Amino acid sequence: MFCQFCGTAVEDGTKFCPTCGRSQETVEQPIAPQIPIPEPPPQYIPGNDGGGGGSAQTGKWISDGWQILSGELLLLVLASLLGAIVANVTVGILAGAFAIGINIVITRKILQNRVDLGDLFKGLKYWLDGLLATMVIAIFVFVGTLFCIIPGFVVAAMYMFTFHFIYDKRLGFWEAMQASHNVVKQDYFGYTIFLVCVALLNVAGVIACFVGILVTIPWGHAAVTAAYRDAVGFDPAGTYFS
Amino acid sequence: MRFLSWSPLVLLAFLPQSLLPFASLCGFKWLTGLPCPFCGLTHGLLFWMHGEWAEALHWHLLTPMVFILLAGAPFVTQNQGIAQQKRLLQLASGAFACYSVWRWCAIVLNKG
């Protein structure tokens, strides 16, 4: 069958399109496979983007990130700190899992306006995909930085939604990376600038006696999760909470 | 926010030339001794923004193209479809690849 949103051919029974990440279960009138699709239509990107299509909204997302964070500052800082400690203790093996975990914590804050620290450990369910994604993205970014640094930022921006696609759409690490790339390619420059701004936030956190990073890291996670909410949209079922 | 792509140009226009690093920050150059496709672009754009066109071209021949891409990015993003953006990126990538090969050949032949 074909995804009704972007026209990509997907296998029967697939829950989410590997290209645009949209749910295939809500399809009311699936496109018949025999209908030829000469060129896929532009991807529909939901969200209140003010008519900018798939453009990045750096200011809005960083501001939204702060609003999300400031609502539960202490708990989100604690969750982020806990995740960072476990990721370091396990020599990075669980870094991806806990990055997914902190994103699940923030997602619940966005969807249900409450924080459950237990969500931090729900990322362990996706630890292998998290680990593989972390390793592959790190290699890609490293290669990118070899070419006068800036390409490394572009590559990092390309895969910024990978962890979100892994837990929210339950995609494998490679499909999630591709889905993230498909979102970001609508505005490479805008998303790269967004990521650079998030990185600058963390630099500011380091300058603020290193303590600031306790706030800027979850702020960055919240900003990227807000971007994912607007650019892709969360799975309404939210099964990862259970 | 869509005019953010102008920020590097504005920054470089006001940045004194003495602040640019003398040593290359390029890992590819450290490893191979050859410039990567983007080596010299920061210097090129800085000299371009200061009105020193010849010096800008000396550092990187594609400086004018990158300047046009950065200056026009807000309008491309707003008005062009993904297919057009992709074609633009492919053209730019092709230009960088051709320029790199030409630059490497020139360096190798000069050494020989």
Q: Which residues of A touch B92 (CB under 8 A)?
A: none
ipTM exceeds 0.85, yes or no? no
B31 contacts A151? CB cut-off 8 A: no
A26-55: average pLDDT: 46
Nearest-neighbour CA in chain A from B4: distance (Å): 8
Q: Check whether B78 has a pLDDT greater than 70.
A: no
Q: Quick one: tokens of B68?
A: 């046009």
Query: Quick one: pLDDT at residue A76?
Result: 92
Q: B64 to chain A nearest CA, in Å?
A: 18
Average pLDDT of the segment spanning A231-241: 81
Residue identified by tokens 């926010």 is B1
CB atoms under 10 Å from CB of A237, counted, come to 12
Q: Are B8 and B45 in contact (CB under 8 A)?
A: yes
Instruction: Please give the average per-residue pLDDT across A125-153, as a whole number.
Output: 93
| Interface residues from chain A to B (CB-CB < 8 Å) | 39, 42-43, 52-60, 145-151, 185-190, 193
Q: Is the pLDDT score of A111 beyond 80?
A: yes
Q: Give me the pLDDT at residue B79, please.
A: 58
Nearest to A150 among B38, B77, B82 (CB): B38
Provide the residue range defining the domain that includes B81. Answer: 2-111
Q: Report the distance separating Cα A54 and Cα A190, nearest Å.
A: 10
The per-residue pLDDT of chain B, averaged, comes to 86
Q: Residue A38: which pLDDT band, with cuts at 50, 70 and 90? A: very low
Rounded mean pLDDT, B52-59: 94
3-state secondary structure string across chain A: CECCCCCCECCCCCCECCCCCCECCCCCCCECCCCCCCCCCCCCCCCCCCCCCCCCCHHHHHHHHHHHHHHCHHHHHHHHHHHHHHHHHCCCCCHHHHHHHHHHHHHHHHHHCCCCHHHHHHHHHHHHHHHHHHHHHHHHHHHHHHCCCHHHHHHHHHCCCHHHHHHHCCCCHHHHHHHHHHHHHHHHHHHHHHHHHHHHHHHHHHHCCCCCHHHHHHHHHHHHHHHHHHHCCCCCCCHHHC
* Contacts of B104-108 spanning 24+ positions with Cβ under 8 A: B104/B34, B104/B35, B107/B34, B107/B35
> What residues of A are in contact with residue B82 (Cβ under 8 Å)?
42-43, 54, 185-186
- Whole-prediction pTM value? 0.76
Residue A47's pLDDT band, with cuts at 50, 70 and 90, is very low
pLDDT at residue A183 above 80?
yes
- How much is the average pLDDT of A160-171? 94
A186-233 tens-digit pLDDT = 888 889 989 999 999 999 988 887 788 999 999 999 999 999 999 999
Least confident span in A44-53, A116-125, B59-68? A44-53
Domain count, chain B: 1
Closest CA to A146 of B15, B33, B48, B31: B31
Report whether pLDDT(A52) > 50.
no
Cα A34 to chain centroid, rounded? 34
Of B4, B7, B25, the CB nearest to A148: B25
What confidence score (pLDDT) does residue A44 get? 36
HSE-CB of A29 using CA atoms within 13 angstroms: 0
Chain B residues touching residue A150 (CB < 8 angstroms):
38
> With contacts defined as CB-CB under 8 Å, which chain A residues touch B1?
56-60, 190
